[in-house]
Amino acid sequence: MAEKKIEERLRKQLDFILEIDKEKNIFRQTHLSGHGRNENDAEHAWHMAIMAYLLREYANETVDIARVMLMCLIHDIVEIEAGDTYAYDTENLKTQKAREEAAKEKIYSLLPEDQKQELTALFDEFEDNQTAEAKFAHAMDNLQPLLLNDSNDGGDWRAHQVTAEQVYGRQRKTRQGSEVLFDVTDGIIKKHIKKGNLKESDKTRR
């Protein structure tokens, strides 16, 4: 009986592992550095996790870096079902929460119950953005695409006609996780305003 339970548990874990391979097929609006192709969700998550480890000294508070890295790795798995929602797509942002909640239940239910509860709790912690770990993980989520956009001379911002106000609206959340890294993003945004890659509006505060 014990052997049968182990076999069932392992089967569920392997089913989940194979399911999340699909994250490699969810492409984002952001392009790889060097004007490469669009990056996919798995690449974004991997990049964030390594960034979190390397930049952990700049977190506003001491963080459990393993927890932060796991948040980075799992936060977009729901997009296998829900699809990628571009950060500045105001229409699709309205339904993002509902789509991702349904996807969370479907995908994480593939796991054994204890691991389902563990990872859904971690996903919810990231979404709630209240703990030091969640705030720092969000800082990575904001900084990573900004660095790629900067490396590509603001090409994605120009293509989508993104305003400086929109980028600041997202990057101000970076400050909750890291004042130091917010200063970096602030400098990048100002540079692209001057270059004309980000349009200013009366509401833009620098």
How does pLDDT run across 68-85, given as a tens digit for each residue? Answer: 999 999 999 999 998 876
How does pLDDT run across 97-121, given as a tens digit for each residue? Answer: 888 899 999 999 999 999 999 999 9
Q: Are 12 and 112 in contact (CB under 8 A)?
A: yes
How does pLDDT run across 179-203, given as a tens digit for each residue? Answer: 999 999 999 999 999 999 998 875 5
pTM: 0.90
How does pLDDT run across 166-179, given as a tens digit for each residue? Answer: 999 989 889 999 99
Half-sphere exposure of 160 (CA within 13 A, CB side): 18
How does pLDDT run across 137-160, given as a tens digit for each residue? Answer: 999 999 999 999 999 999 999 998
In 10 A of CB 7, how many CB atoms?
Answer: 10
